[in-house]
A and B are shown apart, each in its own frame.
Chain A
Amino acid sequence: EADIYQTPRYLVIGTGKKITLECSQTMGHDKMYWYQQDPGMELHLIHYSYGVNSTEKGDLSSESTVSRIRTEHFPLTLESARPSHTSQYLCASSTSAGGAYEQYFGPGTRLTVT
């Protein structure tokens, strides 16, 4: 079972608030990712990191920012939440080691901005 955690699982917050979604993994994986998924729709990669101090924007433009100061921690921040940010945010991690190349996903954070 994958050891990747996201908090909070659910968040309802008002417009204009600053929020940080937490993601941690205990597997020592060097690569971490953030995806955004609207209900019934496909996942879109919004940020990824290949290691400490490495962050890149994904294929879907996002107003969020990320940081990677520690291997196990990859938080996502929205400086000023808006209703258009309402979505599910999924964090994942993977290793560069050999073998089957799979990403391990966290349970997700469902964000609602009112």
Chain B
Amino acid sequence: LAKTTQPISMDSYEGQEVNITCSHNNIATNDYITWYQQFPSQGPRFIIQGYKTKVTNEVASLFIPADRKSSTLSLPRVSLSDTAVYYCLVIDWGNQGGKLIFGQGTELSVKP
């Protein structure tokens, strides 16, 4: 299982773009990169997933360089409600049957 490393915490202000970078140096060929968001006292929520280059949805963008050893989650124009813990995971859906291994995540604090 590929291990991920991301900052423990980040601070931002409303309206700013936030970029959270995750390192996954030993990512395997079949691994996908997935990000989840968790608010206090709630279960995590899927944000975005990608394999390479760039993926964008209504919530965020995910940038993955060619070597795939890192990825960056980009949250445009954050608001107070984006304060949460963000988890970066790599997952081989074929061999692991969908098992997710969560790290400590990045605690994002958005200030007014």
A interface with B by C-beta (< 8 Å): 31, 33, 35, 41-45, 48, 50, 58-59, 88, 90-92, 94, 96, 100-108, 110
Contact = CB atoms under 8 A, between A and B. Distances in A.
Contact of B104 (A31, A42, A105, A110): A42
Given A101-B32, A101-B91, A105-B45, A31 B101 contact: no
A101 B46 CA distance: 9
Nearest to A6: B43
Which of B87, B98, B100 is packed against the most chain A CB atoms within 10 Å? B98
Contacts of B91: 101
Interface string B83-96: 00001000101000
B29 interface: no
B105 A102 contact: no
Contacts of B99: 33, 45, 48, 58-59
Size band of the interface chain B makes with A: 20 to 34
Contacts of A105: 42-45
A58 B32 CA distance: 20
Top 9 A-B residue pairs of the complex, sorted by shortest distance between their CB atoms: A105-B43, A102-B46, A43-B102, A42-B102, A90-B43, A101-B93, A94-B98, A42-B104, A100-B49
A33 B42 CA distance: 16
Interface in B59-109: 87, 91, 93, 97-105
Nearest to B1: A59
A102 B103 contact: no
Contacts of A45: 99-101
A107 B46 contact: no
B43 A106 contact: yes
Contacts of B49: 100-102
Which of B44, B87, B105 is packed against the most chain A CB atoms within 10 Å? B44
Contacts of A35: 102
B105 A42 contact: yes
A31 B43 contact: no
A103 B46 contact: yes
B42 A31 contact: no
B101 A59 contact: yes
